């Protein structure tokens, strides 16, 4: 690997079955090939949006061969790909074809110019913590999933509030009745946890958030804990409850089930443009500098 070509093989992933994804994918593949990079297309992307002339590969092969992955889509696509590629230590760049784009921060309109600078070495790297969630069934057996944003235990569509007991590092913290409980990473602090009145946490802070959703007791407030702890949520009462990891891996919960959340062994590597400023991004996407009259529909 030469200093002039730090990313000889680049994986491309497009938002699955998204209208209009073919044009930016083709543009990007041609741009990268023209710069001398070997381009591999994610097999599922290629199945839904064929790109003739470019080899397709399953995710495991991309993890072994690619030195960089570029994802075109929204944050949901980035969440899925980040979890899959984290064990391979492959850095990711996100091209935003979604709405807010907290993780996909390069615009499609100027992706070539931005990527040219980044591929030449002008980028800033961040690492993001993953959650490792194990569902231990009261009746026996277990299931496991990773999450970059959050792990959410919630009430069902037809049931009332759930009641759960929370332990941290084996010590009882509280029992709570609520619509649900979110365990979020700093990355996930701008996702569902934000709408539940949780704080925004800088990605560099080594913390997890526990954010109640509509708690019965108003004294149940969001708390932050160090990310080295093990959090256990036991479902004491609640019909039709569920466990959701990044809103993409979903499991039904029964009374007596336990959800154990800890820091995952692998971290996600994100590459941003060199001038990336986390607070400027928040200001822009959350409209912090706008006055109410400027936010009113015209």
- Same domain, yes or no, for 260 and 134? yes
* 75 carries an active-site annotation: yes
Q: Are residues 111 and 140 in the same domain?
A: no
pLDDT tens profile 186-211: 999 999 999 999 999 999 999 999 99
Give the tens place of pLDDT for each residue, 145-188.
999 999 999 998 877 899 999 999 999 999 999 999 999 999 99
Phi, psi of 224 (to 5 degrees): -115, 135
The pLDDT tens digits of the residues spanning 16-29 come to 878 889 999 999 99
Quote the pLDDT of residue 294.
65
Find all residues with CB under 8 Å of 233, minimum gap 6, and list them: 153, 164, 165, 166, 181, 183, 258, 259, 261
Buried b / exposed e over 106-135, threshold 16 CB at 10 Å, is: bebeebeebbeebbeeebeebebbbbbbeb
| Domain region containing 52 | 9-121
Query: Does residue 48 lie within any of the structural domains?
Result: yes
Stronger pLDDT, 208 or 283, i.e. the higher one: 208
Q: What confidence category does residue 295 fall into, taking pLDDT thresholds of 50, 70 and 90?
A: low
Residues pairing with 144 in the sheet: 134
Active-site residue, selected from the candidate residues 75, 105, 132, 246: 75
Q: Taking the model in full, what pTM does it have?
A: 0.92
Structural domain tally of the chain?
2
Query: What pLDDT was estimated at residue 1?
Result: 41
Residue 290 CA to residue 30 CA, distance in Å, equals 39
> Does the structure show a pLDDT above 60 at 2?
no
Q: Please give the share of the chain, as a percent, with pLDDT higher than 70.
A: 96
Q: Are residues 170 and 228 in the same domain?
A: yes
Query: ∠ CA(75), CA(78), CA(83), 5° rounding?
Result: 130
């Amino acid at each position: 690997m030469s200093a002039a070509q730090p990313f000889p093989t680049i994986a491309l992933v497009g938002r699955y079955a998204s209208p209009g994804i073919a044009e930016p994918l083709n543009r990007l593949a041609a741009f990268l090939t023209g710069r001398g990079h070997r381009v591999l297309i994610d097999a599922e992307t290629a199945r839904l949006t064929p790109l003739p002339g470019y080899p397709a590969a399953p995710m495991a092969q991309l993890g072994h061969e690619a030195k960089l992955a570029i994802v075109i889509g929204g944050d949901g696509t980035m969440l899925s790909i980040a979890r899959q590629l984290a064990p391979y230590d492959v850095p990711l760049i996100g091209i935003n074809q979604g709405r807010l784009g907290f993780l996909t921060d390069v615009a499609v309109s100027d992706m070539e110019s931005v990527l040219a600078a980044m591929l030449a070495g002008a980028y800033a790297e961040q690492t993001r913590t993953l959650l490792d969630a194990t569902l231990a069934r009261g009746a026996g057996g277990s299931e496991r999933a990773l999450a970059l944003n959050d792990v959410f235990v919630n009430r069902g569509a037809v049931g009332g509030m759930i009641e759960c007991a929370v332990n941290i590092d084996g010590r009882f913290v509280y029992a709570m009745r609520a619509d649900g409980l979110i365990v979020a990473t700093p990355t996930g602090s701008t996702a569902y946890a934000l709408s539940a009145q949780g704080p925004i946490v800088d990605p560099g802070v080594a913390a997890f958030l526990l954010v109640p959703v509509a708690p019965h007791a108003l004294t149940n407030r969001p708390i932050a804990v160090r990310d080295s702890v093990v959090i256990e949520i036991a479902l004491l009462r609640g019909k039709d409850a569920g466990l959701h990891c990044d809103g993409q891996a979903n499991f039904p919960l029964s009374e007596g089930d336990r959800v154990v959340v800890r820091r995952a062994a692998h971290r996600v590597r994100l590459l941003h443009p060199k001038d990336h400023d986390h607070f400027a991004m928040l200001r822009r996407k959350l409209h912090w500098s706008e006055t109410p009259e400027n936010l009113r529909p015209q």
